[in-house]
Amino acid sequence: MIQVPSPPSTGIAFKPLDSVSRSFLDRIEAQDAKLKQQFETRLSVAPFLNRQLVSFQANKTRSSYRWFKYKEAFSAALVEELLQNRGVLNGHILDPFAGSGTALFAASALGIDATGIELLPIGVEIMHARQLLRCEFTSDDFAALERWRLVQPWRNSPVRCTLGVLKITDGAYPPETLESIERYLTAITDESPHVQTVLRFALLCILENVSYTRKDGQYLRWDARSGRRQGVKPFNKGVILDFDGAITAKLSDIICDTHTFEEQIGLFDTEQSNVTTGQLNVLQGSCLQELQRLPSNLFDVVLTSPPYCNRYDYTRTYALELALLGVTGDALIALRQEMLSCTVENRSKSLLEINPDWQAPVEAANGQMLLQAILEHLDNQKERKLINNTGIPRMVKGYFYEMACVVFECLRVLKPGAPLFMVNDNVRYAGASVSADLILSDIAEKLGFRVPLITVLQQGKGNSSQQMGEHGRKALRKCIYVWEKPQ
Ligand SMILES: C[S@@+](CC[C@H](N)C(=O)[O-])C[C@H]1O[C@@H](n2cnc3c(N)ncnc32)[C@H](O)[C@@H]1O
């Protein structure tokens, strides 16, 4: 049995449990132990895996990947490691939760064709701008960027364009920064469509840094200097960057990295770059809709990281960027509902109405004993008003049932013998460890995948302070699941 080292004790005392909760948790622990035994020989701690590799951290200094800090991304180095270890040198990869496109760009640079599905316009825009810079940007376009960097035309521009505002982004910038953004948006309208796209992308890359906000998983956190009401301890995000300096530095990075990339692969003729890199195709929408439209047996690899079941709300944390891209308040709410259920606000989706063929994944989730024990516990906690948010049981249920359908579709679209790699975290609610790795691997096996390996990151993740205070500290596994479609 693998042992994930526990995080150090914090000395926080935790509350004793009532007997009903204890008996629910005992059942969960028994089911968890049974499932762990089922996968015992396949759970393996991998020394090569570290937090840097499975997060955005390793992209921070990497050419092109460093432009937009997509906090929930994994690293290009991880994608390369997984593909090269597996001997995947060509073919076609799919990422149904493409985010900023790390899997797609890393695979494409290795000569592998890549298809991604992404729901949020911000991810799609990042991929679009990167693809444009890589394949279609001409030397005239680069000259225009260089002129913007040197001359800073926004500084003398009038304000004719206004920045879109959402309720949750109102007042996000110091007044002089807002004015500069609006001058910038006005000045870019004089440029060609390609240059406009890249200039807008550069702006997207710096919005958080010039604002009063910080992305904080579940929501946008506001600095006290914004004038927004604060909790007991006022929040200070540190330096808020000056607009002119931040945008000029970003344009420098983009110009520098794009030339470096072209020099690295020995090309300046952009057309030829398609010869060495794989084709890249992005589908905007929910993978619950898009996957079912893809043909069976098409892909050589699925490599992905879905949202974790951790209440992170991408529609809130990326609200500044979505507002700039013209997403309205109603559209934002609709996007939140279309996301894989991972926030307490997600209503349940009628999966069998989306696709009547999803009876099999729904039944696989119905028959997953650990999942059912967790759901019963969470419902009971909700009934007895012991849970800190009543949306948690619905979110956890939605997450696993929707993921079962995604797994079912991934199996269908993969070629026989092809692997699937999935990065995901376990979570914990109301004292119950939710072993997403075991639950999803069991569902995958029931649906027809082979599960040769669940690779565990050496250092388990800690718990939220609320979970620790009430239930003590337990290490949570962060894993890469390795599944295969049988031959
Ligand atoms: C963990 S992030 C993936 C990050 C990606 N691996 C990268 O390196 O940038 C999960 C992504 O899934 C997207 N997402 C959530 N629900 C979705 C859905 N129903 N269909 C497609 N994408 C979805 C989120 O917007 C987010 O970008």
Instruction: Identify whether residues 320 and 389 lie together within a single domain.
Output: no
Are 443 and 380 within 8 A, CB to CB?
A: no
Q: Compute the half-sphere exposure of residue 73: CA atoms within 13 Å on the CB side of its CA.
A: 30
Q: Is 94 in the pocket of ligand 1 (CB under 6 A)?
A: no
Q: Specify the residue with its C-alpha closest to ligand 1, atom 12.
A: 97
Report the separation in Å between the CA atom of 391 and the middle of ligand 1, taken as the mean of its atom positions: 21
Calpha distance 421→5 (Å, rounded): 24
Within-domain flag for 89: no
Calpha distance 250→227 (Å, rounded): 28
Among 69, 78, 118, say which to mutate for ligand 1: greatest number of ligand atoms within 8 Å of CB: 118
List the pLDDT tens digit at each of the 487 positions of the chain.
455 555 555 455 556 789 999 999 999 999 999 999 999 999 999 888 898 999 999 999 999 999 999 999 999 999 999 999 999 999 999 999 999 999 999 999 999 999 999 999 999 999 999 999 999 999 999 999 999 999 999 999 999 999 999 999 999 999 999 999 999 999 999 999 999 999 999 999 999 999 999 999 888 999 999 999 888 899 999 999 999 999 999 999 999 999 765 554 444 444 444 448 999 999 999 999 999 999 999 999 999 999 999 999 999 999 999 999 999 999 999 999 999 999 999 999 999 999 999 999 999 999 999 999 999 999 999 999 999 999 999 999 999 999 999 999 999 999 999 999 999 999 999 999 999 999 999 999 999 999 999 999 986 555 555 554 555 556 799 999 999 999 9
Cβ contacts of 416 within 8 Å, gap of 6 or more? 297, 485, 486, 487
Q: Is 197 in the pocket of ligand 1 (CB under 6 A)?
A: no
Are 32 and 435 within 8 A, CB to CB?
A: yes
How many domains, the chain? 2
Cβ-count burial 361-390 (b if 16+ within 10 Å, e if not):
beebbeebbbbbbbbebbebbbeeebbeee
Calpha distance 215→70 (Å, rounded): 10
Report the separation in Å between the CA atom of 484 and the middle of ligand 1, taken as the mean of its atom positions: 22
Q: Is 422 in the pocket of ligand 1 (CB under 6 A)?
A: no
Within-domain flag for 365: yes
Question: Which among 130, 83, 88, 86 is positioned nearest to 105, based on CA atoms?
Answer: 130
Of the candidates 298, 318, 338, which is a domain's last residue?
A: 338
For residue 181, the enclosing domain spans 120-279+308-338
Instruction: Identify whether residues 57 and 140 lie together within a single domain.
Output: no
Instruction: Identify whether residues 347 and 470 lie together within a single domain.
Output: yes
Within-domain flag for 238: yes
Within-domain flag for 1: no
Q: Compute the half-sphere exposure of residue 275: CA atoms within 13 Å on the CB side of its CA.
A: 9
Of the candidates 338, 358, 379, which is a domain's last residue?
A: 338
Amino acid identity, residue 3? Q
Q: Which atom of ligand 1 is nearest to the CA of 339?
A: 16
Calpha distance 142→144 (Å, rounded): 5
Q: Which atom of ligand 1 is nearest to the CA of 318?
A: 25
